[in-house]
Protein backbone atom coordinates (compact mmCIF):
# COMPACT_ATOMS: atom_id res chain seq x y z
CA UNK A 1 0.00 0.00 0.00
CA UNK A 2 1.30 3.46 -0.85
CA UNK A 3 -0.27 5.19 2.13
CA UNK A 4 -1.66 7.91 -0.13
CA UNK A 5 -5.10 9.08 0.83
CA UNK A 6 -7.11 10.33 -2.17
CA UNK A 7 -8.74 12.90 0.08
CA UNK A 8 -5.40 14.75 0.42
CA UNK A 9 -4.10 14.60 -3.15
CA UNK A 10 -3.29 12.60 -6.22
CA UNK A 11 -0.94 9.68 -6.18
CA UNK A 12 -0.08 6.36 -7.70
CA UNK A 13 0.82 2.93 -6.46
CA UNK A 14 3.31 0.46 -7.93
CA UNK A 15 2.85 -3.23 -7.18
CA UNK A 16 5.16 -6.02 -8.21
CA UNK A 17 5.48 -9.64 -7.32
CA UNK A 18 8.44 -10.76 -5.22
CA UNK A 19 10.30 -9.52 -2.21
CA UNK A 20 13.76 -8.65 -3.59
CA UNK A 21 14.81 -4.97 -3.84
CA UNK A 22 14.66 -3.61 -7.37
CA UNK A 23 16.07 -0.32 -8.61
CA UNK A 24 13.68 1.68 -10.72
CA UNK A 25 13.35 5.17 -12.12
CA UNK A 26 10.07 7.06 -12.27
CA UNK A 27 9.88 10.04 -14.62
CA UNK A 28 7.03 12.50 -14.14
CA UNK A 29 6.42 15.19 -16.74
CA UNK A 30 4.20 18.18 -16.19
CA UNK A 31 1.90 18.71 -19.15
CA UNK A 32 0.32 22.03 -18.21
CA UNK A 33 -0.20 24.54 -20.98
CA UNK A 34 -2.11 27.57 -19.73
CA UNK A 35 -4.18 29.53 -22.21
CA UNK A 36 -2.28 32.23 -24.11
CA UNK A 37 -3.81 35.62 -24.90
CA UNK A 38 -2.86 38.00 -27.69
CA UNK A 39 -2.67 41.62 -26.58
CA UNK A 40 -3.88 44.63 -28.50
CA UNK A 41 -0.87 45.80 -30.53
CA UNK A 42 -0.68 49.12 -28.63
CA UNK A 43 -0.78 47.42 -25.23
CA UNK A 44 1.77 44.85 -26.41
CA UNK A 45 4.19 47.61 -27.43
CA UNK A 46 3.65 49.42 -24.12
CA UNK A 47 4.30 46.32 -22.00
CA UNK A 48 6.89 44.70 -24.25
CA UNK A 49 4.90 41.47 -24.63
CA UNK A 50 2.53 40.47 -27.41
CA UNK A 51 1.15 37.17 -26.13
CA UNK A 52 1.13 35.63 -22.69
CA UNK A 53 -0.83 33.92 -19.98
CA UNK A 54 -3.29 35.95 -17.94
CA UNK A 55 -0.94 36.09 -14.89
CA UNK A 56 1.98 37.21 -17.10
CA UNK A 57 -0.05 40.00 -18.69
CA UNK A 58 -1.54 41.18 -15.39
CA UNK A 59 1.92 41.22 -13.78
CA UNK A 60 3.40 43.24 -16.67
CA UNK A 61 0.53 45.72 -16.57
CA UNK A 62 0.79 46.07 -12.78
CA UNK A 63 4.53 46.76 -13.10
CA UNK A 64 3.77 49.50 -15.65
CA UNK A 65 1.14 51.03 -13.35
CA UNK A 66 3.46 50.97 -10.32
CA UNK A 67 6.48 52.27 -12.27
CA UNK A 68 4.45 55.21 -13.59
CA UNK A 69 2.62 55.85 -10.27
CA UNK A 70 -0.81 55.48 -11.85
CA UNK A 71 -2.55 53.91 -8.84
CA UNK A 72 -4.87 56.42 -7.17
CA UNK A 73 -3.41 57.11 -3.70
CA UNK A 74 -6.85 57.37 -2.05
CA UNK A 75 -8.99 54.97 -4.09
CA UNK A 76 -6.38 52.21 -4.27
CA UNK A 77 -8.45 50.04 -6.62
CA UNK A 78 -8.56 52.87 -9.20
CA UNK A 79 -5.97 53.30 -11.94
CA UNK A 80 -5.47 56.77 -13.40
CA UNK A 81 -4.82 56.29 -17.10
CA UNK A 82 -1.88 58.12 -18.61
CA UNK A 83 -2.04 59.15 -22.28
CA UNK A 84 -1.02 55.66 -23.45
CA UNK A 85 -3.60 53.80 -21.36
CA UNK A 86 -6.26 56.39 -22.31
CA UNK A 87 -5.67 55.65 -25.98
CA UNK A 88 -6.02 51.90 -25.32
CA UNK A 89 -8.90 51.82 -22.81
CA UNK A 90 -10.71 55.04 -23.87
CA UNK A 91 -11.15 56.38 -20.34
CA UNK A 92 -9.49 58.63 -17.76
CA UNK A 93 -9.56 56.05 -14.96
CA UNK A 94 -10.72 52.50 -14.33
CA UNK A 95 -10.71 49.83 -11.67
CA UNK A 96 -7.82 47.40 -11.98
CA UNK A 97 -10.31 44.52 -11.70
CA UNK A 98 -12.21 45.86 -14.75
CA UNK A 99 -9.18 45.75 -17.08
CA UNK A 100 -9.76 42.19 -18.36
CA UNK A 101 -13.24 43.23 -19.50
CA UNK A 102 -12.09 46.28 -21.48
Q: For residue range 6-54, what is the model confidence (pLDDT) as tens digits?
A: 565 677 777 778 888 888 888 888 888 899 999 999 999 999 999 999 9
Interatomic CA distance for residues 84 and 46, integer angstroms: 8
pLDDT confidence tier of residue 1, bands split at 50, 70 and 90: very low
Give the bridge partners for 71, in sequence order. Answer: 79
Average pLDDT of every residue of the chain:
87
| Secondary structure (3-state) at 71 | strand
pLDDT confidence tier of residue 81, bands split at 50, 70 and 90: very high
* Max Cα-Cα span within the chain: 73
Amino acid sequence: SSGINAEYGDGFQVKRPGDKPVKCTINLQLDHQPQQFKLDARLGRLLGIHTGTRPTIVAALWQYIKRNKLQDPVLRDQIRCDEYLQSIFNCQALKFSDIPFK
